[in-house]
Amino acid sequence: MASIGVVREYHADDGWGIIDGPDVPGGCWVHFMAIAMDGYRQLTPGEPVWFHAEAANQDGYAFRALKAWTDSTEPPDLRSDSVAYRSTLTLTFDDPPESWTV
């Protein structure tokens, strides 16, 4: 079941903030990756927010948001097969000069 709270603060430059609510005494740390919305993900202080949290020791807070959203209807989970979550690295090397061959 989702909790409801209010955004205490949000640091857009750093991508994290704090949600206050009755289910998370002392506040709940939230990272921009946990915010379920299209486009640029950020929260606004004073904004109501719904969220799922877990007990964790995150930057001095006893709770960490697993998912947070600003509409009363919970959005579907983000697709884990999105290309936004993948990276690749390809290394290519030039052939050594002939003077290096023995």
For residue 68, give the CATH number of its domain.
Answer: 2.40.50.140
Residues 6+ apart with CB under 8 A from 28: 5, 18, 19, 20, 21, 51, 53, 61, 63, 64, 65
Residue 38 lies in a domain: yes
DSSP 45: T
List per-residue pLDDT tens for the chain, 102 residues long: 899 999 999 999 999 999 999 999 999 999 999 999 888 999 999 999 999 999 999 999 999 999 999 988 888 876 555 555 556 788 888 887 777 766
Residue 100 lies in a domain: no
Residue 98 lies in a domain: no
Residue 96 lies in a domain: no
Instruction: Give how many domains the chain has, as a whole number.
Output: 1
Q: What is the pLDDT of residue 79?
A: 55
Q: What is the pLDDT of residue 82?
A: 52
Residue 45 lies in a domain: yes
Give the Cα separation of 47 and 71 in Å (integer). 10
- Taking each continuous run of H as one helix and of E as one strand, the counts in the chain are 0, 5
Residue 80 lies in a domain: no
Residue 77 lies in a domain: no
Q: Can you give the residue range of the structural domain that contains 67?
A: 3-72
Q: Determine if the pTM surpasses 0.85.
A: no
